[in-house]
Chain A
Amino acid sequence: MTVTPLAEQIATQLRRDILRGKLPPGAPVKERENAAELGVSRTPMREAIRILAKEGLVDLRPSRSPLVARPSLREVMDAIDVLTALEMLSGQLACRNATPKEIDGLRQIHNRMADIYDTADPLDLFEVDMSFHRAIARASHNALLAETHQAYLARLWRVRYLTASLRHNRSRVLGQHGAILEGLETRAVAQVTAGIGLQLEGLAKSVALVLEPDSDAVDVS
């Protein structure tokens, strides 16, 4: 599948609509209405929906509108276990393989996050936060790892956003990122994995607070 830039832009917009709750879990994503609202034609809209389906953010249904995914608590916890393994491996490998330029790039993301932490729109802040995690996966110099991390991070996009908003705490978040960064600079594997571990434990602990408790029982078919 070759993705056009327009479809990718539409997908970004739809992802943000899902995060903001404009498109809540279980809601239909109507191709025609959304295309009209964004002022695009239906072909790139359809392509954007396919991108989201591949990421697991929407569920396609034959000859009906796709639905915004409604993962159960169990599914989310499973995905977090896998994402933790992937991020821990990223941290370990990045300690060994990250170039000074890549570490500098991480430093810039970190500084930018510190600059905007108190004033930014939560969604913008979240995107910067996630770009930090993705940059570590890329700095592992394992292409499959970076690709797999990106794909499964996308699936957890909504819960991660909701928990990040819930746990909005400048000193904690920036402190953890700072410790990870310092560990990468000094090639201290234990410090890096400890920092990453703390972040993901925090995620796992707060998922139950943001996920609809009855979502296991909801039948979306």
Chain B
Amino acid sequence: MDDTANDIISLAPIEKLTLHDQVANQLRDLIIEGVLEPGSRIDETDLVDRLGVSRTPFREALRTLAAEGLLVIRPSKGSIVRKLKHDEVYSMLEVLAEIERLGGRLACERASPAELTELLNIHDRMMTLYEARDRLPYYKLNQLFHSRVAMASRNATLIEVQANIQSRLKRIRFVGNRKPEDWANAVADHEEMAAALRVREGSRLGELLATHLMRTWDRVKDSL
């Protein structure tokens, strides 16, 4: 599990990843950062050329991103970056809030001391990145924090549902930290979560996570 943490801050030896994983990771970042805009067509020829890969791993990567809900593959018409509608995003956040509420409660009951330390460590690194206003690495650690809380619930179904919804919301949550005051508010939420986690106050952590995700809606709704 520790390997994943390192991957996120790009310390993993790159040769460990398959070619298709590397392509998928690069394309995912381009989507998250909005270089490839929602609704825009994927220019396969151009990207294949710029990435210097052949079409087979490129198409495999597209399928991975489609399964994550970031792309829509249209047979014989090319792929487009998925554009989420207002009510789709709201629906996702509403369900994710409940799932993470349960996840937070169970995580406080079930996390091992090592998992707890690791979660707090991720939190501390997020705060350092916030001080430096280093947005993409902060964003990735934030996603990792939410995934790790879900994992600490030790509930396989919950981990699956959480991962599935979180991956579809990737682009929109990056947008949510664009305004300085929104980012500051999200950071304040996270400080409270870390405090609840430290003393294993499960219902409090669950409540904070749910509230945090519904506030995410306020942060992103205008940019949809």
Bound together: yes
Task: Mark A residues whose CB is within 8 Å of B.
Answer: 75, 78-79, 81-82, 85-86, 88-89, 93, 142-145, 148, 152, 155
B87 neighbours in A (Cβ, 8 Å):
143
Q: Which residue of B91, B106, B155, B156 contacts A142 across the interface (Cβ within 8 Å)?
A: B91
Q: Which residue of B88, B92, B94, B156 contacts A78 across the interface (Cβ within 8 Å)?
A: B156
Q: Is the CB of A142 within 8 A of B158?
A: no
Interface size class of B (residues with CB under 8 A): 10 to 19
Total A-B contacts with CB atoms under 8 angstroms apart: 48
Task: Mark B residues whose CB is within 8 Å of A.
Answer: 87-88, 91-92, 94-95, 98-99, 101-102, 106, 155-158, 161, 165
A78 neighbours in B (Cβ, 8 Å):
155-158
Q: Is the CB of B157 within 8 A of A145?
A: no
A86 neighbours in B (Cβ, 8 Å):
95, 98
Chain A: CB-nearest residue to B90: A142
Known: A78-B156, A81-B158, A82-B155. A144 touches B165 (CB 8 A): yes
Known: A75-B156, A144-B88. A82 touches B94 (CB 8 A): no
Most buried by B among A79, A85, A145: A85
Q: Which residue of A75, A89, A143, A152 contacts B98 across the interface (Cβ within 8 Å)?
A: A89
3 tightest A-B contacts by CB?
A78-B155, A144-B91, A82-B157
Q: A86 CA to B98 CA in the complex, in Å?
A: 8
- Interface pairs (5), CB distance under 8 Å: A81-B155, A82-B102, A85-B102, A143-B87, A143-B91
Most buried by A among B87, B91, B95, B98: B95
Q: A85 CA to B209 CA in the complex, in Å?
A: 15
Chain A: CB-nearest residue to B101: A85
Q: Given A82-B161, A142-B95, 4 other A-B contacts at CB below 8 A?
A: A85-B99, A145-B91, A145-B94, A155-B157
Q: A143 CA to B91 CA in the complex, in Å?
A: 7
Chain B: CB-nearest residue to A79: B157
Q: Is the CB of B155 within 8 A of A148?
A: no
Known: A81-B102, A82-B102. A144 touches B95 (CB 8 A): yes
Q: A7 CA to B140 CA in the complex, in Å?
A: 41
A85 neighbours in B (Cβ, 8 Å):
98-99, 101-102
A148 neighbours in B (Cβ, 8 Å):
95, 161
Q: A199 CA to B187 CA in the complex, in Å?
A: 39
B155 neighbours in A (Cβ, 8 Å):
78, 81-82
B92 neighbours in A (Cβ, 8 Å):
144
Least Cβ distance of B81 to chain A in Å?
19
